[in-house]
Amino acid sequence: MITIRKLKTLKPGTLRRKAAVILQLFENELSAGCPLDLNYLYAFLELTSEAYEDSSAVAERIAGLMPSISGQEPEQLHRSLNSLRHLLLQVLGTEPADWDLSETRSPVTEGTDPPHVKAGIEIFLDDLRSPFNLGSIFRTSEAFGVSRILLSPDCPDPEHPRASRSAMGCTRLVPWERVKGSELFSSEAVISGEITVFALELGGTPVSGFRFPEKGIAVIGSEELGISPEARNAALKSGGLVSIPVFGKKGSINVSVAFGIMMQRWSEQLF
C-alpha cells in the first residue's frame, strides 16, 4: 500500500484516480479477512476528501463514513468502502462494466465438476450474434447445471474478449462445441425422440405452464431473427416452443435475460 507521505505528494488529479484503486485494495483485504490499518484509512479518507473538494457528494459521503468506521463490522465496512469507490468512479466518469465487478463470493474453480450439473441438459445457440450475450449465457448455464453448449457456425467465439469478460470464466467450465443445425436436427437421437428439442421463442407456451424435459436440447435463437426455420420445425415435432410473457410496449426482452428466466424454471422442475 502506498504510504500517506507519498500520497500527499501526488497532484490532486492523480490522487483522485489513485483513490479508487486504493479503496479496491482495502476491499480485497477485507474479503481476505485481514484487519485494516484504521489510522491509515482515516488519513487516506481525509486526503481523498480534499482531492474531491469540488464534489459535494464525495465530501458528504466521506464525512458521514469517518465517524462510524471503528464501529462497523467488516462486512458493513466493506459495503461502505465499496459504495464510496463506485461514487468516485461515477464522478470520474469511469463507471465499471458488469465484467469489471469483483465477485469474491463466487470464485471460479477449474478442474472439478460442479455437483449440480444435470447430464443431458444441453443448449443450442442458433446464430446468436452478440459476444456479450454469448458470454452471459455461458455464465447462466454454469449456474443452472447445463452439461454442454452447442454453437452454430455463425456464433461468436467463446474466447472473444467481450464473451470471455461477460462469462466471468465460465467458458472454461461449461463444455462446448460447434455443430451445424442441419446435422443436429437430423441426428438419429432427435428424429427417434431419444432427445427432446424445444425452443425459446415468441408465440409458444408460457414458461409457467411449459413442461420441460428431464433431458433435452433448448434452442436459443438470433437476437434479430429468432430461431431458424429448421429449428422451429424440429421443436414443433418434439418438445414445442416456450415463451416468456411480457407486458410492456417493447414486447420483448434481451435474449440472455430470457434465457435466465427459462433456465430457472427448467432447473426448478429438475432438481
Q: Do residues 266 and 166 share a domain?
A: yes
Q: Do residues 53 and 140 share a domain?
A: no
Using a cut of 0.75, tell me whether the model's pTM lies above it.
Answer: no
Q: Do residues 60 and 177 share a domain?
A: no
pLDDT of 136 strictly over 90: yes
The reply to whether 114 falls in a domain is no
H or E element that contains 200:
strand 196-206
Q: Do residues 132 and 198 share a domain?
A: yes
Q: Which of residues 1 and 90 earns the better pLDDT score?
A: 90
Contact at 8 Å (CB) between 77 and 69?
yes
Q: Average pLDDT for residues 134-145, to the nearest whole number?
A: 94
The reply to whether 155 falls in a domain is yes
Q: What is the pLDDT of residues 92-102, one digit of tens each?
A: 887 665 545 55
DSSP single-letter state for residue 148: E
The reply to whether 10 falls in a domain is yes
Q: Do residues 170 and 236 share a domain?
A: yes
Q: What is the pLDDT of residue 117?
A: 76
User: Which residue, of 95, 130, 159, is where some domain finishes?
Assistant: 95
Q: Do residues 194 and 149 share a domain?
A: yes
Q: What is the pLDDT of residue 4?
A: 92
Domain residues for the domain of 45 are 4-95
The reply to whether 106 falls in a domain is no
Q: What is the pLDDT of residue 99?
A: 46
Q: Do residues 175 and 49 share a domain?
A: no
High-pLDDT (> 90) share of the chain, %:
62
- Return the minimum-mean-pLDDT range out of 112-116, 203-207, 247-251: 112-116
The reply to whether 46 falls in a domain is yes
Q: What is the pLDDT of residues 169-200, one digit of tens each?
A: 899 999 999 999 999 999 999 998 899 999 99
Distance (Å, rounded) from C-alpha 28 to C-alpha 51? 23
Q: What is the pLDDT of residue 113?
A: 52
**CA-based nearest residue to 141, from 199, 202, 212, 218:** 218
pLDDT of 108 strictly over 70: no
Q: What is the pLDDT of residue 270?
A: 80
pLDDT of 252 strictly over 90: no
For residue 69, with 0-12 CB atoms within 10 Å meaning exposed, 13-18 middle and 19 or more buried, which class applies? middle
High-pLDDT (> 70) share of the chain, %:
92
The reply to whether 33 falls in a domain is yes
Output b/e per residue, 38-67; b: 16+ Cβ within 10 A: eeebebbbebbbebbeebeebeebbeebee
Q: What is the pLDDT of residue 154?
A: 87
Task: Place 118 in a pLDDT band, splitting at 50, 70 and 90.
Answer: confident
pLDDT of 125 strictly over 90: yes
Q: What is the pLDDT of residues 223-251, one digit of tens each?
A: 888 899 999 999 999 999 999 998 988 77
Q: Average pLDDT for residues 160-164, to the nearest whole number?
A: 90
Domain count, the chain: 2
Contact at 8 Å (CB) between 144 and 267?
yes
Q: Do residues 8 and 133 share a domain?
A: no
The reply to whether 110 falls in a domain is no
Q: What is the pLDDT of residue 205?
A: 94
Q: Do residues 69 and 153 share a domain?
A: no
pLDDT of 6 strictly over 60: yes
